[in-house]
Amino acid sequence: MQQLLAKYGKITDLLEEEAETFRSLASTKREFEAGEVLVASELQSPDQLYIVDDGRLFASMELRNGERAITRLYFPGDIMGTANIPFDHATQTITANTASSMYIFPRSNLVDAFTRLPRIAAIFYTFAALENAILNDRLVSIGRTRGRARLASLLLEIAAREHLVECDDPNICRPALTQEQIGDAIGLTTVQVSRLFKELTTQKLIKRRDGNVELLDPTALQDLGLFRNRYEDLDLDWFEEDF
Amino acid sequence: MQQLLAKYGKITDLLEEEAETFRSLASTKREFEAGEVLVASELQSPDQLYIVDDGRLFASMELRNGERAITRLYFPGDIMGTANIPFDHATQTITANTASSMYIFPRSNLVDAFTRLPRIAAIFYTFAALENAILNDRLVSIGRTRGRARLASLLLEIAAREHLVECDDPNICRPALTQEQIGDAIGLTTVQVSRLFKELTTQKLIKRRDGNVELLDPTALQDLGLFRNRYEDLDLDWFEEDF
DNA sequence: CGAACCTTTGAAGTGACTCAATGCGTGTGG
DNA sequence: CCACACGCATTGAGTCACTTCAAAGGTTCG
């Protein structure tokens, strides 16, 4: 919950009442094991929203032909399940990729929160819009750049997201994903991901050591991956003034 | 404005007060010519939101290498500019692809609407979540399927969106896009789009006549494109009950 | 009628895929 | 404590989808 408040507090100063609402919104906490599936696509009515307390998770969609795509990575402080809200069945599967703990609340809790505190509604809306912008970026990356650029972009995104809450070296990231999962996230096969890792490594752009990836030349990677850190660009003055 | 109210009314019965708020939210109406740019990416502070009254528009992002990606197509009744809301500069360019007219309002108008009528907030949040789900679908399509499937999926999406407000033959769609723009939307080159159109045509899946595309075998196209019409799956009971 | 733009087609090149084998690290049971 | 199995990463060879480059054919509009 600290991460969430930190993340939201980063964009606007929360009133005590609002912070309290966030806390009460998510009263139930649950642990999940690595590999456990929280929301099974198509199977489940998406009544729940989740706020990540700790761990790494991802949202994915299966295709009829057995292939899988990973549409989103989740870090502590993230709200999960947004894309399922307006539907009568889940549109994506959420999987805990490491041991994780999270706060759970039914989407109907939002009704009360939105009614009592319109700024909460604005915050949720804003984060949905942010998620939108990030999805746009990924669409561009996957649709219009080659594998090298896509991998660079993903690594930068992971580094940026990790750095947002865990304040360690911004140039070291821990994908916590197999190469198959990375492929699912950027639209490539395992084989190709492996080759690209090798390529970036021999070009001294990155360095790998037991699951960590060090970004040796962040500037070059940013040029290559055309990456924009959307979290840096946030601006919420528009709803500050009048509420 | 009729389309907007129809679209929103489709998911929940609007109270007169709410319908009134929607109307007053968007008091200014403007016309744009075909080809005109409404929001220039990076250049502009994204203070405006738009509701499409008539015409066809698209959102795009430019890459430094000169390539372009189209991230979203807009139809009458759509709200545009959502992905720009939380930022101090626009993240995407919006272009009127045909002569268009739309309602314009500053994002700060949302503050008042959210405060007075929390259901309006819920509606906006819901549509952001829907947009999210659609972006996820496109990510899967572009990242994990071949050109034939992507084109099929795009055509089905356009047909579904057109049919939502303009109630004509659901199996005829009017992309109103050049093949270059189609390529930008599904991550292919003009050349390949042309070849794929030919392929789908000779396979008797589609038929083209002066800018229209007839879907000769919608079922086969759906199997091919793995398309889900998200608008059909909407479920907003969750905020009906308690507001 | 001509210019501009869009579409189509061909030929050659390339990034990524598939298939398949090997290597590597870790945990488990004999 | 070794042998083995299992999951993951790497590498090679052949193929395919799509790209690039280039030219020609169609449409539309002034």
pLDDT tens per residue, range B137-185: 999 999 999 999 999 999 999 999 888 766 677 889 999 999 999 999 9
For chain A, give the percent of residues with pLDDT over 90: 42
How far does B130 lie from chain A, in Å, by closest CA?
A: 6
Tell me, what's the pLDDT at A177? 95
Q: Using 50, 70 and 90 to split pLDDT, how confident is the model at B41? A: low
Q: Is A128 helix (H, G, I), strand (E, B) or coil?
A: helix
Within a 10 A sphere around the Cβ of A232, how many other Cβ atoms? 9
Tokens linked to B87: 């930022």
pLDDT at B241 over 60: no
pLDDT at A151 over 80: yes
Region A140-169 average pLDDT: 89
Strand D: list positions under 7 Å from protein Cβ: 7-13, 17-22, 28
What are the phi and psi torsion angles at B172 (to 5°)? Answer: -120, 130
Q: Is the CB of A146 under 7 A from strand C?
A: yes
Residues of A in contact with B238 (CB under 8 A): 47, 85, 107-108, 111
Question: A42 in contact with B at a CB cutoff of 8 Å?
Answer: no
Q: Which of B127, B77, B57, B50 is nearest to A85 (CA)?
A: B127
Domains defined for chain B, CATH in brackets:
2-136 (2.60.120.10), 146-225 (1.10.10.10)
Q: Could you list the beta-strand ranges (E) of B169-242.
A: 172-173, 206-209, 212-215
Tell me, what's the pLDDT at A86? 82
Q: What is the mean pLDDT of chain B?
A: 86
Partners of A69 in beta bridges: A61
Q: Is the CB of A147 under 7 A from strand C?
A: yes
Give residue B85's region: left, alpha or beta (phi > 0; psi -120 to 50): alpha
Tell me, what's the pLDDT at B7? 62
Q: What is the mean pLDDT of chain A?
A: 86
Q: Using 50, 70 and 90 to split pLDDT, how confident is the model at A243? A: low
Q: What is the CA radius of gyration of chain B?
A: 18
Could you say which of B64, B143, B223 has the minimum Cβ distance to residue A69?
Answer: B143
Residue of B nearest to A113 (CA): B118
Tell me, what's the pLDDT at B195? 97
Beta-carbon separation of A86 and B121 below 8 A: no
Residue of A nearest to B126 (CA): A86
Tokens linked to A233: 């660009």
Beta-carbon separation of B121 and A122 below 8 A: yes
pLDDT at B133 over 60: yes
Residues of B in contact with A228 (CB under 8 A): 91
Tell me, what's the pLDDT at B105? 87
Tell me, what's the pLDDT at B124? 86
User: Between residues 153 and 192 of chain A, which touch chain B (CB distance below 8 Å)?
Assistant: 184, 186-187
pLDDT per residue over A26-69, tens digit each? 778 999 988 888 877 655 666 788 888 889 999 999 988 788 99
- The residue with greater pLDDT, A70 or B20, is A70
Cα–Cα distance for residue pair B108/A241, rounded to 1 Å: 9
Cα–Cα distance for residue pair B54/B51, rounded to 1 Å: 9
Q: DSSP code of A87?
A: B
Tell me, what's the pLDDT at B144? 96
Tokens linked to B191: 């050349």
- The residue with greater pLDDT, B236 or B226, is B226
Within a 10 A sphere around the Cβ of A147, how many other Cβ atoms? 17
Q: Is the CB of B178 under 7 A from strand C?
A: yes
CA A132 to chain centre: 12
Residue B123: exposure state from Cβ atoms within 10 A (0-12, 13-18, ≥19): buried
pLDDT at B73 over 60: yes
Tell me, what's the pLDDT at B165? 67
Q: Using 50, 70 and 90 to split pLDDT, how confident is the model at A167? A: low
Tokens linked to B122: 């819920």
User: In angstroms, how far is D23 C1' from B191 CA?
Assistant: 13
Best mutation target, A87, A234, A236, to test chain B (most B CBs within 10 A)? A87
Tell me, what's the pLDDT at B115? 86
Q: Using 50, 70 and 90 to split pLDDT, how confident is the model at B4? A: low
Residue A241: exposure state from Cβ atoms within 10 A (0-12, 13-18, ≥19): exposed
Give every CB contact of residue B73 below 8 A, 6+ residues apart in sequence: B56, B57, B58, B157, B158, B161, B177, B185
Tell me, what's the pLDDT at B191? 97
Give every CB contact of residue A127 below 8 A, 6+ residues apart in sequence: A79, A82, B86
Alpha helices in A117-231 (DSSP H): 118-144, 147-165, 179-186, 190-202, 218-225
Residues of B in contact with A236 (CB under 8 A): 86
Q: Which of A148, A115, A25 is nearest to A79 (CA)?
A: A25
- The residue with greater pLDDT, A127 or A15, is A127
Question: A1 in contact with B at a CB cutoff of 8 Å?
Answer: no
Tell me, what's the pLDDT at A72? 94
Tell me, what's the pLDDT at B68? 92
- Strand-by-strand arrangement of the B28-32 sheet: B28-32, B100-106, B48-54, B79-80
CA-to-CA dists, residue A218 to A146, A169, A207, angstroms: 18, 12, 12
Tokens linked to A128: 């949905």
Tell me, what's the pLDDT at B219? 94
Tell me, what's the pLDDT at A83? 82
Region B54-62 average pLDDT: 93
- The answer to whether B108 and B204 have CB atoms below 8 angstroms apart is no
pLDDT at B194 over 70: yes
Cα–Cα distance for residue pair B218/B200, rounded to 1 Å: 12
pLDDT at A241 over 60: no
Cα–Cα distance for residue pair B118/A243, rounded to 1 Å: 13
Could you say which of B69, B86, B121 has the minimum Cβ distance to residue A143?
Answer: B69
- The residue with greater pLDDT, B236 or A214, is A214
- pTM score over 0.95: no
For chain A, give the percent of residues with pLDDT over 70: 87
* Tokens 């015409």 found at: B55
Could you say which of B83, B125, B132 has the minimum Cβ distance to residue A121?
Answer: B125
Cα–Cα distance for residue pair B94/B74, rounded to 1 Å: 9
Could you say which of B68, B84, B235 has the minimum Cβ distance to residue A88?
Answer: B235
Query: Which of A190-194, B65-69, B101-105, B130-134 ranks highest by mean pLDDT?
Result: A190-194
- The answer to whether A4 and A54 have CB atoms below 8 angstroms apart is no
